[in-house]
Amino acid sequence: MASEVAASRIRSEVDFDKPGRQAGYLRAPLSRNTSGWGTVEIPIVVVKNGRGPTILLTGGVHGDEYEGPIAISRLARSLDPASVQGRVIMIPALNIPAVLNDTRLSPVDGRDLNRCFPGDPRGTFSEMLAHFVDAWILPHVDVSIDLHTAGHSMDAALSTNMHYLPDPDIRQRTLAAAEAFGAPYNVVFWGVDEGATLTSSVERRGILSLGTELGGWGRVNVEGVRIGERGILNILKHFDVLEGRPETIQRDGAAGTRHMMVRDPDCYIFAPAGGLFEPCDLAGAEVYAGDRAGWLHFVEDVDRPPIEVHHRRSGIVWMASGPGRVQRGDVVCVVMNDYDDAAASMQDRS
Using the rule CB under 5 A, give the single segment among 147-155, 157-165, 243-251, 315-323 that binds Zn ion.
147-155
Size of the site for Zn ion (CB under 5 A): 3
Using the rule CB under 5 A, give the single segment among 54-62, 73-81, 165-173, 286-294 that binds Zn ion.
54-62
Residue nearer to Zn ion on the CB measure, 65 or 134:
65
Using the rule CB under 5 A, give the single segment among 66-74, 145-153, 225-233, 295-303 that binds Zn ion.
145-153
State the nearest-atom distance from the C-beta of 183 to Zn ion, in Å: 15
Options 21, 48, 148, 258; binder of Zn ion; rule CB under 5 A: 148
State the nearest-atom distance from the C-beta of 240 to Zn ion, in Å: 29
Residue nearer to Zn ion on the CB measure, 95 or 248:
95
* CB of 79 closer than 8 Å to CB of 241: no
Options 62, 238, 259, 263; binder of Zn ion; rule CB under 5 A: 62
Using the rule CB under 5 A, give the single segment among 55-63, 161-169, 215-223, 298-306 that binds Zn ion.
55-63
State the nearest-atom distance from the C-beta of 72 to Zn ion, in Å: 14
Length of the chain: 350
State the nearest-atom distance from the C-beta of 170 to Zn ion, in Å: 23
Contacting residues for 2 by C-beta, under 8 A, at least 6 apart: none
* CB of 293 closer than 8 Å to CB of 311: yes
Using the rule CB under 5 A, give the single segment among 133-141, 143-151, 199-207, 287-295 that binds Zn ion.
143-151
Distance CA 223, CA 243 (A): 24
Residue nearer to Zn ion on the CB measure, 148 or 152:
148
State the nearest-atom distance from the C-beta of 74 to Zn ion, in Å: 19
Residue 240 amino acid letter? D
Using the rule CB under 5 A, give the single segment among 71-79, 95-103, 148-156, 271-279 that binds Zn ion.
148-156
Range 318-350 burial, b when 16+ CB lie within 10 A, else e: bbbbbeeebeeebbbbbbbbebeeeebeebeee
Residue nearer to Zn ion on the CB measure, 99 or 175:
99
* CB of 317 closer than 8 Å to CB of 333: yes
Q: Does 171 bind Zn ion (CB under 5 A)?
A: no
* CB of 153 closer than 8 Å to CB of 216: yes
Residue nearer to Zn ion on the CB measure, 62 or 263:
62
Q: Which of residues 63-102 bind Zn ion (CB under 5 A)?
A: 65
Using the rule CB under 5 A, give the single segment among 57-65, 204-212, 237-245, 324-332 that binds Zn ion.
57-65
State the nearest-atom distance from the C-beta of 148 to Zn ion, in Å: 3
Residue nearer to Zn ion on the CB measure, 131 or 148:
148
Range 269-297 burial, b when 16+ CB lie within 10 A, else e: bebeeebbbebbbebbeebeeeeebbbbb
Residue nearer to Zn ion on the CB measure, 113 or 326:
113
Distance CA 334, CA 94 (A): 27
Residue nearer to Zn ion on the CB measure, 58 or 257:
58
Residue nearer to Zn ion on the CB measure, 98 or 260:
98
Which residues make up the interface to Zn ion (CB under 5 A)? 62, 65, 148
